[in-house]
């Protein structure tokens, strides 16, 4: 048990504090030189000086040359939230899990360049072959949500829950851990070795079914909003879901609250999706009574309830692309994806619900100059920023991922 005297201080992840660094009102997301973008005040990985002053045109020309020279030995993966000046070079576009599957399927590629964030590169390493190398162009590209579930904090919480609940009996565990894909490999590993699994925003409901067939309750990591919205959609009452605060003894919960719960939600969130509000939806509907509103399930409960549709990144993309010409769509997800949907669907009115332009501040750190840096490293026979998960962590994390594949969805 955690004693009162050892209560940790509340520490806000640096990635959360940095989220507003790129927010602006004029909507201009044009790429600047890396030297200029270094002035934003966030952490950037240091690179050789020559890359700092290169113009976007010089960087683009360098990337095109390097891609031609390297050929199929390297594959570039681009997450939907990437800036246009990066995603234009992607061989595959998608969400984190779809891209990891593409990485695993690209058997001829020795180098997998993942233009995303750190947990995505870890997942690609878990699923790719041992002779493949996964590269993250900028090691400062983390994820505030993943950072909110630090390994030591989750391990301590799991020990506390075991002390209160025990192992279970009659073939049913007292609690099953589920971690969202947006988590570190170590958290996926914890779930794998404790009878749990990984889920995506597309199959979280199926993961709940799987878990509740095997256990009395769920520990859902690290996004409380996806966990809550999924539970409500499954008919689990809000009163049966409690939030575990890692900065308080026993998560800030009484033992009776833990025993009476059906879902224990980790106190984490997405810095991008919690910006969306019911007021923004109301404003959109006032301006256009015929607007359709679609949001991501990482949004808070009230926003999901107020929207017409909600679903994963791929769900949003397919819903908007398949909509009738002339329809109007207010979207609650990352701005680069919204802008790309708008540009790719000129026959529809598409806009972001948030009038303040706020790209994901960690994803935005994959500047094209970093992509050029790692590509030129490959040309020189050097693997820069190779992401590797240790064998023990990998073994258990793969168990959790394989269970997710069994669930499907």
pLDDT per residue over 172-184, tens digit each? 899 999 999 999 9
Q: Where in the chain is the domain with CATH 3.40.50.10800?
A: 30-142+362-389, 274-352
pLDDT on residue 107? 84
State the Cα–Cα distance between residues 330 and 320, nearest whole angstrom. Answer: 10
State the Cα–Cα distance between residues 238 and 228, nearest whole angstrom. Answer: 8
pLDDT on residue 19? 52
Could you say which of 3.40.50.10800, 1.10.3720.10, 1.10.10.10, 1.10.1280.10 is the CATH number of the domain covering 30-142+362-389? Answer: 3.40.50.10800
pLDDT on residue 168? 80
Instruction: Please count the other Cβ atoms lying within 10 Å of the Cβ belonging to residue 386.
Output: 16
pLDDT on residue 96? 78
H helices of 247-364, in order, are 255-260, 278-287, 301-306, 313-321, 335-344
pLDDT on residue 279? 98
Structure confidence at residue 43 as a pLDDT band (50, 70, 90): confident
Residue range 295-332, pLDDT digits in tens: 999 999 999 999 999 999 999 999 999 999 999 999 99
pLDDT on residue 28? 56
State the Cα–Cα distance between residues 332 and 394, nearest whole angstrom. Answer: 34
CA 124 to each of CA 54, 84, 191, 312, 408: distance values in angstroms, whole numbers, following the listed order = 30, 22, 18, 19, 18
Question: Over 60: is that where the pLDDT of 247 sits?
Answer: yes
Q: How many residues does the chain have?
A: 409
Residue range 1-12, pLDDT digits in tens: 232 333 334 444
pLDDT on residue 31? 86
List the single range of 74-78, 80-84, 153-157, 379-383 with lowest mean pLDDT. 80-84
Task: Report the SS3 class of residue 69.
Answer: helix
Burial per residue of 269-295, b for 16 or more beta-carbon CB atoms within 10 angstroms, e otherwise: bbbbbbbbbeebbeebeeeeeebbbbb
pLDDT on residue 102? 84
Question: Over 60: is that where the pLDDT of 386 sits?
Answer: yes
Check whether the bond before 67 is cis (ω within 30° of 0).
no
Instruction: Please count the other Cβ atoms lying within 10 Å of the Cβ belonging to residue 319.
Output: 18
State the Cα–Cα distance between residues 123 and 394, nearest whole angstrom. Answer: 9
Strand stretches in 156-277, DSSP E: 176-180, 197-199, 218-221, 241-244, 263-266
State the Cα–Cα distance between residues 372 and 324, nearest whole angstrom. Answer: 39
pLDDT on residue 6? 33
Question: Over 50: is that where the pLDDT of 374 sits?
Answer: yes
pLDDT on residue 20? 58
Residue range 53-62, pLDDT digits in tens: 999 999 999 9
Instruction: Please count the other Cβ atoms lying within 10 Å of the Cβ belonging to residue 364.
Output: 26
pLDDT on residue 326? 98
State the Cα–Cα distance between residues 379 and 366, nearest whole angstrom. Answer: 20
State the Cα–Cα distance between residues 250 and 400, nearest whole angstrom. Answer: 25
The topology (CATH level 3) of 146-271 is Rossmann fold (3.40.50)
Mean pLDDT value of segment 17-24:
57
Question: Over 90: is that where the pLDDT of 108 sits?
Answer: no
pLDDT on residue 22? 59
Q: Percentage of the chain surpassing pLDDT 90? A: 78
CATH 3.40.50.10800 fits 274-352, yes or no: yes
Mean pLDDT value of segment 37-47:
87
């Amino acid at each position: 048990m955690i004693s009162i005297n050892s209560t940790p201080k509340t520490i806000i992840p640096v990635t959360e504090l940095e989220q507003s660094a790129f927010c602006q009102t004029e909507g201009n997301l044009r790429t600047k030189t890396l030297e200029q973008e270094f002035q934003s005040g966030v952490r950037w990985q240091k690179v050789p000086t020559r890359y700092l002053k290169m113009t976007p045109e010089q960087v683009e020309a360098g990337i095109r040359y390097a891609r031609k020279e390297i050929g199929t030995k390297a594959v570039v993966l681009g997450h939907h939230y990437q800036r246009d000046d990066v995603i234009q070079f992607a061989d595959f576009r998608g969400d984190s899990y779809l891209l990891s599957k593409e990485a695993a399927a690209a058997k001829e590629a020795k180098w997998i360049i993942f233009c995303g964030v750190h947990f995505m590169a870890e997942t690609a390493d878990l699923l790719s072959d041992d002779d493949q190398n996964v590269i993250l162009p900028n090691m400062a590209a983390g994820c505030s949500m993943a950072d909110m579930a630090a390994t030591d904090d989750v391990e301590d919480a799991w020990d506390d829950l075991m002390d209160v609940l025990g192992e279970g009996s009659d073939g049913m565990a007292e609690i099953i851990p589920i971690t969202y894909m947006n988590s570190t490999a170590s958290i996926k590993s914890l779930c794998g070795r404790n009878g749990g699994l990984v889920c995506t925003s597309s199959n979280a409901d199926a993961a709940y079914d799987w878990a509740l067939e095997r256990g009395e309750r769920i520990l859902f990591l690290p996004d409380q909003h996806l966990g809550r919205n999924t539970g409500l959609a499954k008919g689990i009452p809000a009163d049966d879901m409690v939030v575990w605060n890692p900065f308080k003894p026993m998560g800030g919960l009484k033992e009776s609250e833990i025993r009476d719960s059906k879902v224990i939600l980790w106190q984490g969130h997405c810095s991008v999706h919690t910006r969306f509000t019911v007021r923004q939806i109301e404003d959109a509907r006032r301006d256009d009574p015929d607007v359709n509103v679609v949001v991501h399930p990482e949004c808070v409960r009230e926003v999901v309830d107020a929207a017409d549709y909600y679903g994963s990144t791929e769900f949003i993309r397919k819903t908007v692309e398949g909509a009738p010409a002339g329809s109007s769509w207010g979207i609650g997800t990352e701005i680069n994806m919204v802008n790309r949907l708008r540009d790719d669907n000129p026959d529809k009115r598409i806009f972001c619900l948030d009038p303040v332009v706020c790209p994901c501040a960690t994803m935005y750190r994959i500047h094209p100059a970093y992509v050029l840096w790692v590509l030129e490293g490959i040309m020189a026979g050097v693997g820069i920023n190779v992401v590797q998960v240790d064998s023990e962590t990998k073994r258990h994390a793969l168990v959790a991922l394989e269970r997710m594949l069994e669930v499907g969805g």
